[in-house]
Amino acid sequence: MQAGPVVSLVVPFYNEGAGVDAFFKTINATLTRVDTASFEIVCVDDGSKDDTLARLLSASQSDPRIKVLELSRNFGKEAALTAGLDAAMGDAVIPMDADLQDPPELIIQMIEKWRLGADVVLARRIDRHGDSMAKRGTANLFYKIHNRVSHVEIPANVGDFRLMNRASVDALKRLPERQRFMKGMFAWIGFRTEVVDYMRPARATGSSKFTGWRLWNFALEGFTSFSSAPLRIWTYIGSFSTLLTFIYLVFIVIRTLVYGVDVPGYASLLVSILFFGSLQLISVGILGEYIGRIYTESKQRPVYVVRQVYGDNREP
Protein backbone atom coordinates (compact mmCIF):
# COMPACT_ATOMS: atom_id res chain seq x y z
CA MET A 1 0.00 0.00 0.00
CA GLN A 2 1.40 3.35 -1.02
CA ALA A 3 1.75 6.19 1.44
CA GLY A 4 -1.02 8.73 1.17
CA PRO A 5 -3.73 10.53 3.08
CA VAL A 6 -4.96 8.74 6.18
CA VAL A 7 -8.58 7.58 6.02
CA SER A 8 -10.24 6.72 9.33
CA LEU A 9 -13.00 4.13 9.60
CA VAL A 10 -15.19 4.71 12.67
CA VAL A 11 -17.15 1.65 13.74
CA PRO A 12 -19.35 1.45 16.89
CA PHE A 13 -19.75 -2.05 18.36
CA TYR A 14 -22.37 -3.20 20.84
CA ASN A 15 -22.75 -6.94 21.49
CA GLU A 16 -21.40 -7.75 18.01
CA GLY A 17 -18.99 -10.45 19.16
CA ALA A 18 -20.26 -13.03 16.70
CA GLY A 19 -19.57 -10.73 13.75
CA VAL A 20 -16.24 -9.13 14.68
CA ASP A 21 -14.05 -11.62 12.81
CA ALA A 22 -16.26 -11.51 9.71
CA PHE A 23 -16.22 -7.72 9.79
CA PHE A 24 -12.42 -7.44 9.79
CA LYS A 25 -12.05 -10.17 7.17
CA THR A 26 -14.39 -8.28 4.82
CA ILE A 27 -12.90 -4.87 5.60
CA ASN A 28 -9.32 -6.04 5.06
CA ALA A 29 -10.24 -7.57 1.71
CA THR A 30 -11.62 -4.19 0.64
CA LEU A 31 -8.81 -2.00 2.00
CA THR A 32 -6.14 -3.99 0.15
CA ARG A 33 -7.77 -2.76 -3.08
CA VAL A 34 -7.19 0.89 -2.15
CA ASP A 35 -3.63 1.94 -2.98
CA THR A 36 -4.06 5.71 -2.68
CA ALA A 37 -4.49 5.99 1.08
CA SER A 38 -3.48 4.46 4.38
CA PHE A 39 -6.08 3.56 6.97
CA GLU A 40 -6.82 3.54 10.65
CA ILE A 41 -9.81 1.66 12.02
CA VAL A 42 -11.32 3.25 15.12
CA CYS A 43 -13.51 0.68 16.89
CA VAL A 44 -15.72 1.89 19.74
CA ASP A 45 -16.95 -0.73 22.20
CA ASP A 46 -20.15 0.77 23.58
CA GLY A 47 -20.28 -1.20 26.82
CA SER A 48 -20.80 -4.60 25.22
CA LYS A 49 -21.81 -7.46 27.52
CA ASP A 50 -20.50 -10.27 25.31
CA ASP A 51 -16.98 -10.96 24.04
CA THR A 52 -16.95 -8.04 21.59
CA LEU A 53 -14.15 -6.19 23.40
CA ALA A 54 -11.98 -9.29 23.68
CA ARG A 55 -12.34 -9.98 19.96
CA LEU A 56 -11.55 -6.36 19.10
CA LEU A 57 -8.41 -6.45 21.23
CA SER A 58 -7.34 -9.70 19.62
CA ALA A 59 -7.76 -8.14 16.18
CA SER A 60 -5.82 -5.02 17.22
CA GLN A 61 -2.84 -7.12 18.31
CA SER A 62 -2.42 -8.49 14.80
CA ASP A 63 -3.29 -5.28 12.94
CA PRO A 64 -1.62 -2.01 14.03
CA ARG A 65 -4.20 0.02 12.10
CA ILE A 66 -6.88 -0.88 14.65
CA LYS A 67 -7.49 1.42 17.60
CA VAL A 68 -10.07 0.37 20.20
CA LEU A 69 -11.97 2.78 22.45
CA GLU A 70 -13.69 1.11 25.39
CA LEU A 71 -16.51 3.24 26.79
CA SER A 72 -17.22 3.00 30.52
CA ARG A 73 -20.80 1.81 29.88
CA ASN A 74 -23.41 1.63 27.14
CA PHE A 75 -24.04 5.25 26.08
CA GLY A 76 -25.94 4.47 22.87
CA LYS A 77 -24.97 4.50 19.22
CA GLU A 78 -25.03 8.28 18.80
CA ALA A 79 -22.59 8.73 21.69
CA ALA A 80 -20.35 5.89 20.48
CA LEU A 81 -20.27 7.40 17.03
CA THR A 82 -19.35 10.77 18.53
CA ALA A 83 -16.51 9.15 20.49
CA GLY A 84 -15.16 7.57 17.32
CA LEU A 85 -15.34 10.82 15.35
CA ASP A 86 -13.53 12.64 18.15
CA ALA A 87 -10.76 10.04 18.15
CA ALA A 88 -10.37 9.74 14.37
CA MET A 89 -7.22 11.44 13.05
CA GLY A 90 -7.72 10.88 9.30
CA ASP A 91 -7.88 13.41 6.50
CA ALA A 92 -11.19 11.72 5.71
CA VAL A 93 -13.46 9.83 8.11
CA ILE A 94 -15.95 7.09 7.22
CA PRO A 95 -18.47 6.06 9.93
CA MET A 96 -20.04 2.66 9.31
CA ASP A 97 -21.91 -0.11 11.10
CA ALA A 98 -20.35 -3.40 12.15
CA ASP A 99 -23.16 -5.57 10.78
CA LEU A 100 -21.88 -5.30 7.15
CA GLN A 101 -25.18 -3.89 5.91
CA ASP A 102 -23.00 -1.01 4.77
CA PRO A 103 -21.07 -2.61 1.87
CA PRO A 104 -17.35 -1.96 2.42
CA GLU A 105 -16.87 -1.95 -1.37
CA LEU A 106 -18.42 1.52 -1.43
CA ILE A 107 -15.39 2.87 0.42
CA ILE A 108 -13.47 2.75 -2.86
CA GLN A 109 -16.09 4.88 -4.65
CA MET A 110 -16.30 7.29 -1.73
CA ILE A 111 -12.55 7.88 -1.72
CA GLU A 112 -12.58 8.45 -5.48
CA LYS A 113 -15.27 11.14 -5.17
CA TRP A 114 -13.44 12.70 -2.23
CA ARG A 115 -10.23 12.90 -4.22
CA LEU A 116 -12.19 14.59 -7.03
CA GLY A 117 -13.23 17.39 -4.65
CA ALA A 118 -16.27 16.26 -2.68
CA ASP A 119 -16.31 17.29 0.99
CA VAL A 120 -18.96 14.72 1.96
CA VAL A 121 -19.95 11.53 0.13
CA LEU A 122 -23.26 9.98 1.17
CA ALA A 123 -24.19 6.32 0.73
CA ARG A 124 -27.88 6.20 -0.23
CA ARG A 125 -29.91 3.01 0.01
CA ILE A 126 -32.04 2.43 -3.09
CA ASP A 127 -33.34 -0.95 -1.98
CA ARG A 128 -34.08 -1.92 1.64
CA HIS A 129 -35.36 -5.46 1.07
CA GLY A 130 -33.43 -6.49 4.18
CA ASP A 131 -35.82 -4.40 6.31
CA SER A 132 -39.42 -5.31 7.11
CA MET A 133 -42.27 -3.61 5.26
CA ALA A 134 -43.32 -1.82 8.45
CA LYS A 135 -39.80 -0.46 8.99
CA ARG A 136 -39.54 0.73 5.39
CA GLY A 137 -42.93 2.42 5.59
CA THR A 138 -42.28 4.18 8.89
CA ALA A 139 -38.83 5.30 7.70
CA ASN A 140 -40.31 6.90 4.58
CA LEU A 141 -43.00 8.56 6.69
CA PHE A 142 -40.38 9.93 9.08
CA TYR A 143 -38.32 11.50 6.30
CA LYS A 144 -41.40 13.10 4.71
CA ILE A 145 -42.71 14.58 7.96
CA HIS A 146 -39.32 15.67 9.25
CA ASN A 147 -38.34 17.42 6.04
CA ARG A 148 -41.69 19.23 5.96
CA VAL A 149 -41.48 20.62 9.49
CA SER A 150 -37.72 21.08 9.91
CA HIS A 151 -35.50 23.79 8.49
CA VAL A 152 -32.79 21.14 7.98
CA GLU A 153 -33.56 18.58 5.28
CA ILE A 154 -32.30 15.07 5.95
CA PRO A 155 -31.55 13.05 2.77
CA ALA A 156 -33.95 10.11 2.61
CA ASN A 157 -32.56 6.58 3.02
CA VAL A 158 -29.12 7.85 4.04
CA GLY A 159 -27.72 6.52 7.28
CA ASP A 160 -24.44 7.12 9.09
CA PHE A 161 -22.40 5.47 6.33
CA ARG A 162 -20.64 8.32 4.55
CA LEU A 163 -17.26 9.91 3.96
CA MET A 164 -16.47 13.29 5.51
CA ASN A 165 -13.34 15.31 4.95
CA ARG A 166 -11.42 16.80 7.85
CA ALA A 167 -13.09 20.21 7.57
CA SER A 168 -16.59 18.72 7.87
CA VAL A 169 -15.56 16.49 10.78
CA ASP A 170 -14.08 19.47 12.61
CA ALA A 171 -17.29 21.43 11.98
CA LEU A 172 -19.34 18.54 13.40
CA LYS A 173 -17.13 18.40 16.51
CA ARG A 174 -17.92 22.06 17.21
CA LEU A 175 -21.61 21.28 17.72
CA PRO A 176 -21.97 21.20 21.51
CA GLU A 177 -25.31 19.47 22.15
CA ARG A 178 -25.43 16.49 24.51
CA GLN A 179 -28.56 14.82 23.11
CA ARG A 180 -27.29 14.12 19.64
CA PHE A 181 -29.37 13.28 16.59
CA MET A 182 -26.50 12.53 14.24
CA LYS A 183 -28.56 12.34 11.03
CA GLY A 184 -29.69 15.91 11.56
CA MET A 185 -26.25 17.11 12.65
CA PHE A 186 -24.65 15.58 9.56
CA ALA A 187 -27.16 17.44 7.39
CA TRP A 188 -26.87 20.71 9.34
CA ILE A 189 -23.15 21.25 8.67
CA GLY A 190 -23.69 21.18 4.90
CA PHE A 191 -20.53 21.15 2.71
CA ARG A 192 -20.20 20.07 -0.92
CA THR A 193 -21.90 16.69 -1.10
CA GLU A 194 -21.91 13.79 -3.55
CA VAL A 195 -24.01 10.60 -3.41
CA VAL A 196 -23.36 6.95 -4.23
CA ASP A 197 -26.28 4.51 -4.39
CA TYR A 198 -26.27 0.93 -3.18
CA MET A 199 -28.51 -2.04 -2.47
CA ARG A 200 -28.76 -2.76 1.24
CA PRO A 201 -28.35 -6.45 2.14
CA ALA A 202 -29.60 -8.20 5.25
CA ARG A 203 -27.45 -8.25 8.39
CA ALA A 204 -24.57 -10.71 8.22
CA THR A 205 -24.86 -11.62 11.91
CA GLY A 206 -26.89 -10.70 14.99
CA SER A 207 -30.05 -8.65 15.11
CA SER A 208 -30.89 -4.96 15.11
CA LYS A 209 -30.63 -3.17 18.46
CA PHE A 210 -33.40 -0.76 17.43
CA THR A 211 -36.79 -2.01 18.59
CA GLY A 212 -40.02 -0.35 17.52
CA TRP A 213 -40.11 1.66 20.74
CA ARG A 214 -36.52 2.82 20.34
CA LEU A 215 -37.18 3.81 16.73
CA TRP A 216 -40.18 5.86 17.85
CA ASN A 217 -38.09 7.65 20.46
CA PHE A 218 -35.35 8.14 17.87
CA ALA A 219 -37.84 9.78 15.50
CA LEU A 220 -39.15 11.99 18.32
CA GLU A 221 -35.56 13.02 19.02
CA GLY A 222 -35.21 14.04 15.39
CA PHE A 223 -38.36 16.16 15.37
CA THR A 224 -37.52 18.00 18.59
CA SER A 225 -33.82 18.47 17.77
CA PHE A 226 -34.24 20.40 14.55
CA SER A 227 -37.73 21.88 14.58
CA SER A 228 -40.02 23.91 16.82
CA ALA A 229 -42.97 22.99 14.60
CA PRO A 230 -44.55 20.69 17.23
CA LEU A 231 -44.83 23.67 19.58
CA ARG A 232 -46.16 25.90 16.82
CA ILE A 233 -48.75 23.31 15.79
CA TRP A 234 -50.23 23.31 19.27
CA THR A 235 -50.50 27.08 19.13
CA TYR A 236 -52.67 26.68 16.05
CA ILE A 237 -54.66 23.84 17.62
CA GLY A 238 -55.28 25.95 20.72
CA SER A 239 -56.38 28.94 18.63
CA PHE A 240 -58.71 26.76 16.55
CA SER A 241 -60.20 25.16 19.68
CA THR A 242 -60.76 28.60 21.17
CA LEU A 243 -62.57 29.70 18.02
CA LEU A 244 -64.80 26.63 18.06
CA THR A 245 -65.55 27.18 21.74
CA PHE A 246 -66.53 30.80 21.08
CA ILE A 247 -68.83 29.77 18.20
CA TYR A 248 -70.43 27.13 20.39
CA LEU A 249 -70.88 29.72 23.16
CA VAL A 250 -72.69 32.06 20.79
CA PHE A 251 -74.88 29.18 19.64
CA ILE A 252 -75.81 28.25 23.23
CA VAL A 253 -76.66 31.86 24.15
CA ILE A 254 -78.88 32.30 21.09
CA ARG A 255 -80.60 28.95 21.60
CA THR A 256 -81.22 29.77 25.27
CA LEU A 257 -82.74 33.17 24.40
CA VAL A 258 -85.00 31.62 21.77
CA TYR A 259 -85.97 28.26 23.32
CA GLY A 260 -85.22 28.76 27.00
CA VAL A 261 -83.03 26.64 29.26
CA ASP A 262 -82.58 23.12 28.01
CA VAL A 263 -81.98 19.97 30.10
CA PRO A 264 -78.23 19.67 30.75
CA GLY A 265 -76.42 17.07 28.62
CA TYR A 266 -74.09 15.19 30.90
CA ALA A 267 -72.74 12.96 28.13
CA SER A 268 -71.75 15.87 25.86
CA LEU A 269 -70.24 17.72 28.82
CA LEU A 270 -68.15 14.68 29.79
CA VAL A 271 -66.95 14.18 26.22
CA SER A 272 -65.95 17.84 25.96
CA ILE A 273 -64.01 17.76 29.23
CA LEU A 274 -62.19 14.57 28.30
CA PHE A 275 -61.41 15.82 24.79
CA PHE A 276 -59.96 19.15 25.82
CA GLY A 277 -58.23 17.60 28.82
CA SER A 278 -56.52 15.13 26.48
CA LEU A 279 -55.41 17.97 24.20
CA GLN A 280 -53.91 19.75 27.18
CA LEU A 281 -52.03 16.63 28.31
CA ILE A 282 -50.60 16.10 24.82
CA SER A 283 -49.52 19.74 24.58
CA VAL A 284 -47.92 19.55 28.05
CA GLY A 285 -46.10 16.38 26.95
CA ILE A 286 -44.66 18.13 23.90
CA LEU A 287 -43.60 21.06 26.06
CA GLY A 288 -41.98 18.52 28.38
CA GLU A 289 -39.90 17.12 25.51
CA TYR A 290 -38.38 20.52 24.84
CA ILE A 291 -37.98 21.38 28.51
CA GLY A 292 -36.31 18.01 29.07
CA ARG A 293 -33.80 18.81 26.34
CA ILE A 294 -33.07 22.17 27.99
CA TYR A 295 -32.59 20.37 31.33
CA THR A 296 -30.20 17.84 29.81
CA GLU A 297 -28.16 20.48 28.01
CA SER A 298 -27.95 22.69 31.10
CA LYS A 299 -26.20 19.92 33.09
CA GLN A 300 -23.38 19.84 30.52
CA ARG A 301 -22.49 16.23 31.16
CA PRO A 302 -20.11 14.70 28.60
CA VAL A 303 -21.66 12.75 25.75
CA TYR A 304 -19.54 9.69 26.62
CA VAL A 305 -16.79 8.51 28.97
CA VAL A 306 -13.83 6.51 27.68
CA ARG A 307 -12.59 3.82 30.08
CA GLN A 308 -9.48 2.93 28.11
CA VAL A 309 -7.90 3.31 24.68
CA TYR A 310 -6.07 0.35 23.13
CA GLY A 311 -3.71 0.33 20.18
CA ASP A 312 -2.83 4.04 20.19
CA ASN A 313 -0.95 6.29 22.58
CA ARG A 314 -2.94 9.36 21.58
CA GLU A 315 -5.80 10.51 23.78
CA PRO A 316 -9.17 10.72 22.02
116: Cα within 13 Å, side-chain hemisphere: 10
DSSP conformational letter for 183: H
The DSSP line for 284-302 is HHHHHHHHHHHHHHHHT--
The DSSP line for 264-285 is P-HHHHHHHHHHHHHHHHHHHH
Cα–Cα distance, 6 to 93 (Å, whole number): 9
Cα–Cα distance, 31 to 108 (Å, whole number): 8
Encode the chain (316 residues) as per-residue pLDDT tens digits. 444 568 899 999 988 888 888 888 888 888 888 766 688 999 999 888 888 898 899 888 888 889 999 999 988 888 899 999 999 888 899 998 888 878 888 888 888 888 888 899 988 887 756 555 656 666 667 667 666 766 777 777 787 888 999 999 999 888 888 878 788 788 888 888 888 888 766 555 555 555 555 555 656 665 566 666 666 676 677 777 767 777 776 776 677 677 665 556 655 665 677 677 767 777 777 777 777 777 777 777 888 898 888 876 444 3
Look up the pTM and report it: 0.69
Burial of 133 (0-12, 13-18, 19+ CB in 10 A): exposed
